[in-house]
Structure 1
């Protein structure tokens, strides 16, 4: 049995469902909102590469190293982005959350906070993870702030670690949250969502 089994997670109008070929058109449309593939610090697929992006995610799921979700607006049924569990290591109950991107109209809304709450709840409370990690480009300051808002701790920087789409090599900033830190982080995320709900 796989460490991460297929599951649908939902709250506050946001639904995470296992990424599948049927999400191709929705993902392509989401990426077009902001031409996200033109950003050098992200890994959003170009429109014609969307199917290959999904196929790669499914191959990684088969190998047990990644489980990708489509992020769907429940009231419209529109796909607004994607996020994944990855670098899954069942033996030590560790995984990371990443491969995350959203249509521009959903950025800096409750969508990402809700998705992260759902993923963290499932990781710590259902899968029994001891630790959840994140990694991001050293120049992706928005991503770093978003990860820190979740309550994650900065572990350090892996220098000259990974290729960007433009052929340059990035440093990777690593973060993590341990199971013992989850209750406080959970309370804070719920507080943030209440604040966002009042503001939207």
Structure 2
């Protein structure tokens, strides 16, 4: 049995459902909203590479390495982006959250905070993870700020760790959160979400 079983998570009008080939058109449209593939510090696929991107995620799921979700607007069924559990290590009950990107029109809204609340909650409360991790490009300062806002702690920097899409070699900033830190982080996420949508 896989450590991360298929699941659909819902909160505040956002739905996380297992990524499938049926999401190809929606994911392509989400990436086109802001031409996100032109950013050198992300892994967003170019339009013609969307299907291969999904196929790669599904192959990694079969190998137990990654579980990708489509981020969907509940009211309309519109695909807003994608996010994943990855580097899944069942023996130590650890997952990382990454491969995350959203259409430009929903960046800096409640969507990312809601997705993180759902994924962290599932990881800690359902999967009983001891640790949840994140990694990001050392030049992706927006991502680093977002991870730090979650309450994650910076573990360090892996120098010369991975290739960027433009062929340059990146340093990777690593973060993590332990299970004992989750209740405080959850309270902060809920507080942030109330500020986004006081009526919710």
TM-score (norm 1): 0.99
The answer for the alignment partner of 2:20 in structure 1 is 20
The answer for the alignment partner of 2:188 in structure 1 is 188
Shift of 1:76: 1.0
Kindly report the root-mean-square deviation, in angstroms, between the aligned alpha carbons of the 2 structures: 1.1
The answer for the alignment partner of 1:77 in structure 2 is 77
The runs of 5 or more residues in structure 2 that have no matched partner are none
- Distance, in Å, in 2 between the alignment partners of 1:136 and 1:39 is 14
The runs of 5 or more residues in structure 1 that have no matched partner are none
Aligned ranges 1:75-114 → 2 under 5 Å: 75-114=75-114
Aligned ranges 1:12-161 → 2 under 5 Å: 12-161=12-161
- Distance, in Å, in 1 between the alignment partners of 2:16 and 2:112 is 11
Shift of 1:199: 9.8
Shift of 1:131: 0.1
The answer for the alignment partner of 1:178 in structure 2 is 178
- Distance, in Å, in 1 between the alignment partners of 2:77 and 2:151 is 30
- Distance, in Å, in 2 between the alignment partners of 1:109 and 1:5 is 28
The answer for the alignment partner of 2:169 in structure 1 is 169
- Distance, in Å, in 1 between the alignment partners of 2:76 and 2:63 is 33
SS in 2 for 1:75: coil
SS in 1 for 2:198: helix
- Distance, in Å, in 2 between the alignment partners of 1:146 and 1:76 is 26
TM-score (norm 2): 0.99
- Distance, in Å, in 2 between the alignment partners of 1:196 and 1:164 is 33
Shift of 1:198: 3.4
Runs of 4+ in 1 over 4 A off after TM superposition: none
- Distance, in Å, in 2 between the alignment partners of 1:105 and 1:197 is 17
Shift of 1:135: 0.1
